[in-house]
Amino acid sequence: MKLKQILLVIVISMLSAFAGVFLYGKFARSGGGTAGMPVDGKLPANYASFFDSKGNAAEPTDFTKAAESAIPAVVHIKTKIPAKKLDNNLPNRGRTGDPFEDFFGDMFGLGPQIRPEQRASGSGVIISQDGYIVTNNHVVSDGADGVASEIKVTLNEGRKTYTAKVVGRDPSSDIAVLKVEANNLPYMIYGNVDDVKLGQWVLAVGYPFNLEATVTAGIISAKGRSIGINGQQSMSPVESFIQTDAAVNQGNSGGALINTNGQLVGINSAILAPSGTYAGYSFAIPVNIVKKVVNDIIKYGDVKRGYLGISYFDEQKTPGENERRLKQAGLQGGDGVYVLEAPDGGGAAKAGIKKGDIITKVSGTPVASGLQMSGIIASAQPGDKIKLTYLRGGKEATADITLSDKPSASKLTSSDQIADQLGVELANVEPKRAEQLRINGGGVEIKNIRPNGLLSKSRMDKGFIITAANGQRVKSIDELAKVLGSSRSSKVELEGIYPGYSGLYSYQINLDGDDDSGAF
């Protein structure tokens, strides 16, 4: 009896299964369920997939040809920075103010320190058969205002190593051009960033962690990104990054970002990495900016950058200030650039732009920050014309502006412009404190010095109080701005004191130094 029951259960189960399969097939053939299924052999017009209209799978994207063509043109760059003596006895090296500590510190070797020899590596892209190479400025920089004492370039698979010389650098965009004495080198063809689309496949090629040439794949995640990183090495940073999710790590800097045709679309430059290693997104300098900067450096030895002739809030120094001004003007979205200054004689002022105007578009492209705006203009030359869309009193207007050449620092007269040009934060010395310090009437205190700013090249340290400029007594920031603005020479002498130290200190600076002005 037990056996009969078991056999009966098995038979019923088999019949149920066959019935289910039969009914499902009949239901599917009758079109009773179309979710995810073709209808009459065709897919719906709005169906999002990698299939064609007949339901056939599309061909997979092939990366092999692009990778094979790019790898020979991407080089490994190794640099050396010699050991350097750091003198802690200088006022800008952080003396304690305690004469006993300073004296005994020097006696027991706590004064002058030695920074050991430093070695680093990165990547570069050959852009001509006669040996021109593009890389990042930070790859070849010595961390101050100079370059590494030794730069070696090794071709793929260690075929040959060359000593490279620096043709020119542009800290604003983080680009440097090198040259090696060689011929018939494999080189990469420029693409066009305007043809790059969101979601498009790209490859990152470089030498991460001192490995041999490495290729990673990802997609274009965004265009026109600004992350504020170039402000660490330039007074006038230019950022309009291509954002990708192709894996990029230390050593990839200066390497190639290419499309699936093997064309150069960007130079890998940065990652957002809280842990110090790749965390999901990398950033490349668009090839259109690269091409313009490289051509200028090779042709002129410097970058001929077009300027609007305005200044705006620096988000690193005054975070949120631009957005606050926009909200005051009734713009809640936060898109636009508040014009802080439009100096007379600049292209913007000539076209009627005034302080307080809000720039919303540059040549039809919406702008949300000053950095983004500078990135759009970065590929233009002095003399080029652009169209600005701006708001004044809530009303939209447009202006055609002819971009000017690099403004002369000696012609910048406002206190904001002077602070930005010097790369510092300034503050007036209040009368009571001035009396305590025995500086009659006041002075101008250096509250902070921006890394790689103009004054960072001097031996001046924060806390220095300027009491005279070019031999003229200055008691406030406005007075300092007037003296510097009226100077006939770009060379200026600043005199002052360090609280807690005796004596008068003097610093020679050149207002038309290598760093670009903060105006655009």
**Active-site residues: which are they?**
138, 174, 253
User: What residues contact 454, with CB distance under 8 A and at least 6 apart?
Assistant: 235, 421, 422, 423, 509, 511, 513, 515
In this structure, are residues 169 and 176 in contact, taking their beta carbons and an 8 Å threshold? yes
CA distance to 194, 233, 299, 371, 435, per residue, from 224 (Å): 11, 20, 27, 10, 51
Is the dihedral angle over the CA atoms 345, 348, 352, 355 positive or is it negative? negative
Locate 264 and state its tokens: 């150069």
Q: Residue 369: which residues within 8 A CB-CB, separation 6 or more?
A: 226, 315, 322, 337
C-alpha 477/C-alpha 483 separation (Å) is 10
SS3 of residue 472 by DSSP: strand
Fill in the amino acid letter for 59.
E
CB 317 within 8 A of CB 423: no
Please answer whether residues 240 and 376 qualify as being in contact, where contact means their C-beta atoms are separated by less than 8 angstroms.
yes
Q: Which residues pair with 391 in a beta bridge?
A: 358, 396
Tokens of 272: 């957002």
DSSP summary character for residue 340: -
- In DSSP notation, 249-312 reads -TT-TT-EEE-TTS-EEEEEEEE--TTSS--S-EEEEEHHHHHHHHHHHHHHSS----B-S-B-
Q: Is 219 exposed, middle or buried (0-12, 13-18, 19+ CB in 10 A)?
A: middle
Residues forming beta bridges with residue 132, ordered by sequence position: 179
SS3 content of the chain, % helix, strand, coil (to 5): 25, 30, 45
Structure tokens at 474: 């200055």
Please give the angle made by the CA atoms of 73, 76 and 80, to the nearest 5 degrees. 145
